[in-house]
Amino acid sequence: MFLAGCSFFKKKKDVDKDVIAQVNDNYLYASDLQNVTKGLKGADSVAALKSYAETWVRKKLLLAKAAENITEDDAGITQKIEDYRESLLLYEYEKALINQKLDTAVREQELNDWYEKMKDNFLLEDDVYQVYYIKLKKDAPQLKDARQWITKPRDEEDNRKLLGYCKEFAISYSIDKPMWFTGDNLLKTFSLSNFEMGQLGNKFTEFSRSDEIWFIKSPEIKKKGEPSPLEFVREEVVKLIIEKRKMQLLDKTYDKIYQDGVKSKAFEINIK
């Protein structure tokens, strides 16, 4: 039901000049459509307005027909609206409360404690490999020294030298914290063959790749059915911790609201 005229915004004399469309006593105003044409100009803007107005008209006609055939009392609509309103208020209140007061920082000790309690709930579906690696260019400086520090370190000083070397020259590396891979991911990530993967063990093994050199070791394998390593399920455990805190925050807040109501005599329960 678009209002005809020379311009899309031109209206009948007895209708407010800002009215875009009308269905019975319902009006769609130009001010309601400010975001519809954002970034659009000319014909594109008019087309967007017409499309929105058409959708609006169809919805209002459908609602009018529904109202003719179903009374609010028959469908319990009034109560449903109130229930929805209450649910929406509580949802928005909880969301604001969580945003303002929920502590989302998880300390490593807390993470470890939770993991130890729940690790039997995180069982592996495949074997996983603990991996340390260093990726270098073949023309990396001091490669001879680096190879010595990697494969045959003599003392802690060599380990410190290796860490400094990796920070400066490695393409990527993980030598202080292990990473965990399933067998398939290990093969894909490091472009290994099954034979090469079988060579991995407690000490770094060197693999040559075009213009790169990889040093990889895998000192530990966890088998399918064993608890997942913490590194594998870290995000899941963090989510569980945050969810537990959220429930505690809401329970504590709701209980305080109730206790405040008791103290202020804000309610009565007339059941003996």
Paired residues of 134 in beta bridges: 173, 215
Q: How confident is the model at residue 14 (pLDDT cuts 50, 70, 90)?
A: very low
Q: Is-contact 7 14, C-beta < 8 A? A: no
Query: What Cα–Cα distance (Å) separates residue 104 from each residue in 27, 94, 108, 188, 220?
Result: 46, 15, 13, 34, 32
Tell me the C-alpha distance between 108 and 231, whole Å: 12
In the predicted structure, residue 151 carries a pLDDT above the cut 60: yes
- Find the range with the poorest average confidence among 32-36, 157-161, 189-193, 267-271: 32-36
In the predicted structure, residue 21 carries a pLDDT above the cut 80: yes
Nearest Cα to Cα of residue 123 among 232, 27, 261: 232
Compare 264 and 74 and report the one with higher pLDDT.
Answer: 264
Residue-wise pLDDT tens digits, 257-268: 999 999 998 988
Q: How confident is the model at residue 20 (pLDDT cuts 50, 70, 90)?
A: confident
pLDDT at 33: 83
Compare 76 and 105 and report the one with higher pLDDT.
Answer: 105
Q: Give me the DSSP letters along 42-110.
A: HHHHHHHHHHHHHHHHHHHHHHHHHHHHS-HHHHTHHHHHHHHHHHHHHHHHHHHHHHHH------HHH
Q: How confident is the model at residue 176 (pLDDT cuts 50, 70, 90)?
A: confident
Percent of the chain having pLDDT more than 90?
A: 66
Nearest Cα to Cα of residue 60 among 14, 16, 27: 27
pLDDT at 261: 93
Q: How confident is the model at residue 48 (pLDDT cuts 50, 70, 90)?
A: confident
Q: Is-contact 128 221, C-beta < 8 A? A: yes
Residues, the chain: 272
pTM: 0.68
Nearest Cα to Cα of residue 227 among 123, 116, 115: 123
Q: Average per-residue pLDDT in the chain?
A: 88
Alpha helices in 102-223 (DSSP H): 108-118, 143-151, 156-169, 183-189, 194-198
In the predicted structure, residue 184 carries a pLDDT above the cut 80: yes
Q: Is-contact 125 229, C-beta < 8 A? A: no
Over residues 116-140, the mean pLDDT reads 94
Compare 97 and 18 and report the one with higher pLDDT.
Answer: 97
Over residues 110-138, the mean pLDDT reads 95
Over residues 4-20, the mean pLDDT reads 51
Which long-range CB contacts under 8 A does 233-239 form with residues at least 24 apart?
233/115, 233/122, 234/111, 236/122, 237/111, 237/114, 237/115, 237/118, 238/106, 238/111
pLDDT at 6: 37
Q: Is-contact 41 49, C-beta < 8 A? A: no
Q: Greatest CA separation found in the chain? A: 95
